[in-house]
Chain A
């Protein structure tokens, strides 16, 4: 088993028998400091999202006009916004919304894009032609503009933000998965499965899908960062998640009016977006290098 690994990882890992790209990838990923930093930062964000009520007692959306636009202090570590609400509390609760959107968007992209990509690449022919023209059409618009156009149709709010950004991600998954399936479907083990009368659905799920998981995993991490960035952009423009929900982009959008007298109100939500996107990009880059260095998005 150890001999057939193309590039065996020396030491203990080799002895354990690293027989899957994910196991080999994990061994490499552990040595990539930037990716680990990204992963740890993501864990901190997840912890903030899960433990928000513990970390910040009180309602982050309840106004307190007597404390409007206070600068950072011991009592209010990150200061307050125009309605006197704690920016720290809203940033912590905001991690729930942003991660929820990111997971929702990526789940939407995966649920719709991966099966369509599998079908398009496996069956080819007319189905492939039709799906690829639709993909071309969607990709002919820059992603953020497409999300913007879809929000214009569907309307504002959390659910529509997820759907709009999710739809803009679908063509990326279709193209990615289709490209991988086109090469995997020619492999001998797929031909053998087909010759032995295995049903197409089983071939797609058992033999092809596991072999296209590497690019999907990398795209998922990078897609989470993009989803947070897009959602924050829509929130900033006032057409994403609506107030008083503590969403980072919407917080920035309402704080920008006070940029001259209260720059702190814009600084911290922006920093939260930046670090969240950075951590997913660090992890995504690390995953790509670890799982398949030839694969470039």
Chain B
């Protein structure tokens, strides 16, 4: 297992290099002088010159990339053009908020999506299955930012039971996490239904039933346990969608997370912060995929990583 984790970690290096290349190219593709862009609109010529020397922008392109990688490894992403704070500080300050939202959303999505998928599979082609299938399709097609606004209209404007935005209490987390979860719950429910339908037709499920086991035991212990691998995969994959959705959800609910930071930085053309936040998003995505791969081995001991 340890050797697998090490191998899997090593395999993320090309992707990391890819992300670093993307960020490097991103800065070089910007119109105008990168030093001017990084220094911000208000910077003096001396500041711009200092940044040019610090970043080695006067050196050949491969030297610039090597220097960029070196700084990246040390998480030195420069300073924000708006606040002049180190980018890494800005990003770290917002990360816990996005993580809280993402974890709450994924938990909610699993709590609703997996049972919905199981019920659909146990009662296929009945009204309850059709209802869940339709709800899943609606969930996939619904723009999160619109759903968020409609939830605000219902729960904050009309019923006045939940805050429309901000942070500070557990009530502030409800609407953003429900909004974000809606995005993912549909995929989890669809995958759970499809996998459960397949597993329920397997011989070992028939054997479990013919042994006289209770239906609940057959479904949970025999079928669901075997259907977990694809479900975990889809939960992991949806994490990427969730990060994209977080950008929009955080905007709707004025949630001070990484997504909101990216949007504010794009609007202010604060490129060092955009780079830093996108890098952290990319790293998070890679780490989640790695964790999913490792969880496979625990869920299904038949999986061997040689």
Contacts and interface: CB of A to CB of B under 8 A. Distances in A.
Given A236-B251, A237-B263, A273 B146 contact: yes
Given A144-B244, A145-B243, A233-B248, A153 B29 contact: yes
Interface in B155-179: 157, 164
B68 interface: no
Interface in A204-263: 225, 229, 232-233, 236-239, 249, 252, 256, 259-260, 263
Given A140-B285, A142-B241, A282-B137, A149 B18 contact: no
A232 B146 CA distance: 10
Contacts of A263: 153, 157
Nearest to B22: A137
A91 to B, nearest CB: 13
B122 to A, nearest CB: 21
Nearest to B158: A263
A260 B155 CA distance: 11
Contact of A238 (B149, B150, B267, B274): B267
Interface string A117-145: 00000000000000001101100111111
B248 A239 contact: no
A282 B281 CA distance: 31
Contact of A144 (B138, B142, B247, B252): B247
Nearest to A264: B153
Given A152-B266, A236-B248, A238-B267, A136 B22 contact: no
Contacts of A133: 14, 18
Contact-size category for B: 35 or more
Contacts, number: 130
A1 to B, nearest CB: 34
Interface string B19-40: 1011000100110000000000
A151 B266 contact: yes
A95 interface: no
Interface string B239-283: 011011101100110000000001101110001001000100110
B138 to A, nearest CB: 7
Interface in A260-295: 260, 263, 266-267, 270-271, 273-274, 277-278, 281-282, 285
A136 to B, nearest CB: 6
Interface SS, A side: helix
A280 to B, nearest CB: 8
A229 B143 contact: yes
A183 B271 CA distance: 44
B141 A259 contact: no
Interface string B130-159: 000000011011110110011011000100
B282 A140 contact: yes
B18 A237 contact: no
Contact-size category for A: 35 or more
A236 B149 CA distance: 12
Contacts of B240: 141-143, 145
A148 interface: yes
A137 B15 contact: yes
B143 A277 contact: yes
A16 B240 CA distance: 47
Contacts of A236: 143, 145, 248, 251
A294 B154 CA distance: 41
A208 B243 CA distance: 37
A149 B141 contact: no
Contacts of B262: 148
Contacts of A225: 141
B150 A145 contact: no
B285 A153 contact: no
Given A149-B278, A152-B274, A270-B146, A281 B140 contact: yes
22 contacts: A136-B15, A137-B22, A140-B19, A141-B19, A141-B22, A142-B240, A143-B244, A145-B243, A148-B263, A149-B274, A152-B274, A153-B29, A233-B145, A233-B248, A237-B266, A249-B143, A252-B146, A256-B252, A260-B157, A263-B153, A267-B153, A278-B138
Interface of A: 133-134, 136-137, 140-145, 148-149, 151-153, 225, 229, 232-233, 236-239, 249, 252, 256, 259-260, 263, 266-267, 270-271, 273-274, 277-278, 281-282, 285
Given A136-B14, A145-B247, A237-B263, 9 more contacts: A140-B285, A141-B22, A142-B240, A145-B240, A148-B244, A252-B146, A270-B149, A273-B143, A274-B138
